[in-house]
Amino acid sequence: MIGNFGKSLEKVLAHEGGFSDHPGDNGGATMNGVTLVVYQLYFGANKTANDLKKITQEELRIIYRRGYWDKCWCDGLHGGLDYAVFDFGVNSGTSRAIKTLQKVLKVTEDGAIGSQTIKEINKSNCADLIIGLCNERMTFLKELKTFPIFGNGWTVRVSDVRFSALKMSK
């Protein structure tokens, strides 16, 4: 929904935390949920992990807006669903988030929000979509080999996303 980006970004950043370079995380060096690779893509290949540690709020907004919110077409989604899809996209990739939404909608899972996906979203109950998306997200996360390492945090995060998204949908 147009206007929910700022509120949704706040919620995402509450889960992303500060700097991390956990050996079990395939993303490598990460600050506030932004990996060094993504930071370099937006702001130059010469950027280092030390530069990443100093990422500004404006840089975060640019990356999250262009790289996740816009790619998931969140301005065109219902309130609450926009946040649930956005957070999923940040945590597991935009294509996976969209494909999972399409799976819940029972439409072709192509990773692109087009007219058929929008038609089904508009015919569906928003709360049911949020619940279905979060359930499918947990199913996906539990299948990952890194679930024993990060599973508790992911479970808390998805539970919070479900609660907040449902509240935003009213």
Interval 27-45: pLDDT, tens? 899 999 999 999 999 999 9
pLDDT computed for residue 121 by the predictor: 97
Q: Does domain 5-168 have CATH number 1.20.141.10?
A: yes
- pLDDT, tens digit, for every residue of 45-91? 999 999 999 999 999 999 999 999 999 999 999 999 999 999 999 99
pLDDT digits (tens, 9 = 90+) for 5-26: 999 999 999 999 889 998 888 8
Question: What is the pTM (predicted TM-score) of this model?
Answer: 0.94
Which residues are CB-contacts of 119 (< 8 A; sequence separation ≥ 6)? none
Domain boundary assignment for the chain: 5-168
Q: What is the DSSP string of 17-43?
A: -SEE--TT-TT-SEETTEEHHHHHHHH
